[in-house]
Structure 1
Amino acid sequence: MMPKLISWNVRGLNEVSKMLGVRHLLRGWGANLVCLQETKMEFISRAVIRSLWGERSSRISVFGVIRGFRRRDGFRWMFTRVYGPNSDDSRVGLWDELTGMRAWWNLPTCIGGDFNVIRFPSERSSGGSLTRAMEEFSDFIRENLLVDLSMIGGDYTWSSNRDRPILSRTDRFLICGEWESKYSDVTQRRLGRVYSDHFPIMLSGNRRGGGRRPFRFEKMWLKKLKVFKGDLKKWNEEVVGNVNYNKNQCLSEIDELDRREESQGLTGEENERHRVLKEEMERLVEMEEINWRHKSRVTWLKEGDKCTKFFHRVANSNRRNNSITVLEVDGVTYEEPQGEFLSEPLSGVI
């Protein structure tokens, strides 16, 4: 199975609410490698990385090159993160540097990020003519035998966020021939745009698994709160249990509006709906955070400090501590089978 990569120009991570939202999106996407541009943070520590991505984050590169990845199947490759300069003259140096790094490491290569340049006039909604910068970008791709995959989910990756926006495709992944041969089902996909004027993009296989997580009750709820079973189930599905589903629905509608903005523009009513959906995303993310905080019963931490697996560990620990596996009454020991909790009432004993 090929790795899943995310690249996203987030346009700042200094706001707590924005970092929280980005964190939930990254964890929902379940990427193996995440590449963020324009965090606008002076220093990014390993603790910040873990708070965004969880315990899986094991390797950090401030220069944008991570080399020597080895998959379980033995395939070793190199990833290069790009945040391209706006100056055409500086960009020439970028192509030379990327070419030199690929030759030096001599590994199958994937390059991704915000290149700050397009390849063709068609990659900008306002059109225009072919420029020297575009030709140099295409020359770099051809000379290094890289593959520029088509973008699924939309034609552009950046929006000016105006009533009549200018759109362009400045973000992309480029892969070498070895990558394409190794992972024949590789695709590049544009994700929903929230929190930034750039769309996140994903490089992954085209197999799409997963699905809606089924709802499950705790056994003790059914016994001790049987009279409220119907109301509790409805409340959990509509308010708590469906948070992740509602987030996905919200992102799906945002994505649909983004596509419509590309093809025909948005009406005033649709622009307002787009704004409301982004606010709804923030509300859902906050609700999920508070829900985990409640489960862990750790009230001395801020709501934005769910980071890594801490809250999950505490919630699971509480569940284990609240279970009864052995009970002694009047010298008689009652024990449940191993692996099950004593949740049924002991009739005739107590």
Structure 2
Amino acid sequence: MELFDLPLSRKKFTWHLSNGKAMSKIYRFLVNDGWLTKWGNLVQLGLPRTFSDHCPILLNTDTSDWGPTPFRTNNCWLSDHRFSQFVVDEWKKLEFSGRGSFVFKEKLKHLKVILKCWNKEQFGMLDRQIEDKVVAINLVDAKGSTRSLTENDVMARQSDNAELWRLSRQKDNLLWKKSRQR
């Protein structure tokens, strides 16, 4: 039939026995010469498997490497009251010598790395932080159903509620930003 088995990248096998003793490439795209002529450089991408013992594969036509993705700020960073002071403090810590343009470029390059780490620490666990706030609010509500709440309980619930709304706005902002990028 003159079909070609395309190369599989990222993975060697598409199926794994649960105990790991057997593996096989059972899924593949087979194409003819007409497809290769029309679509150019086709490749199969082995995607990560989750619960299944099978790996999904994707037929990809564009194997161009456009380099690293550009650095972008997230608007939710500005809503965090600690962000401005964090940037000022980190900027002051960075020390380079040389011409002004070189120093400025190097500071920006290092600040980008620092901000990526900060973003991961502060916003990488938003779902978990939201869950924690919901649990804390529900605990105070459960206390209130069995006895009257103290002043500290009421203040803790108000604080947790305000924090929950802030985290929710940050999550919405991140999701909106990600959807606009694609």
* TM-score interval for Structure 1 and Structure 2 normalised by the shorter chain: 0.3 to 0.5
Greater helix share, 1 or 2?
Answer: 2
Greater strand share, 1 or 2?
Answer: 1
Q: Give the alignment's TM-score, normalised by structure 2.
A: 0.45
Q: Give the alignment's TM-score, normalised by structure 1.
A: 0.26
